Amino acid sequence: MKKIKGLFEFYKSTFLFNFGFSLLLLYFLNFKSDSRAILHSIPFAYLLGSLFSLLLTLFLKEINKNRDYLFYFNCNLSKLQLYSFSLIINLVIVFVLLLIFR
């Protein structure tokens, strides 16, 4: 239970950045006026945004918030587990968005 809580705490700390970056990417991808094209690019933009922001989060946390990992290490979580969990949750969100907007 402690591991699951730690995984969700980490995801919660990266979610706003992932979501914000995805919305920014969606804005720049949708210069078309066709509303159908906008709806179909939402999952794609979230996927690209979450992948790029996950890499950027990894980079920024390694530099600025290296001590935050001590909490996760105390929960017996490695960095690989943290980032793979975040990636899996982002892929699940993309799958749900594909089901909604298709």
Rounded Cα distance between 9 and 11, Å, is 5
Structure tokens at 101: 């907007």
* Predicted local confidence at residue 11, as pLDDT: 86
User: Does residue 2 carry a pLDDT above 50?
Assistant: yes
**How many H-runs (helices) and E-runs (strands) does the chain carry?**
4, 0
pLDDT one-digit tens code per residue, 42-85: 677 677 777 887 788 778 777 887 777 888 888 888 888 988 89
User: Does residue 33 carry a pLDDT above 50?
Assistant: no
The full set of domain ranges for the chain reads 2-101
**Please, what is the end-to-end C-alpha distance for the chain in angstroms?**
36
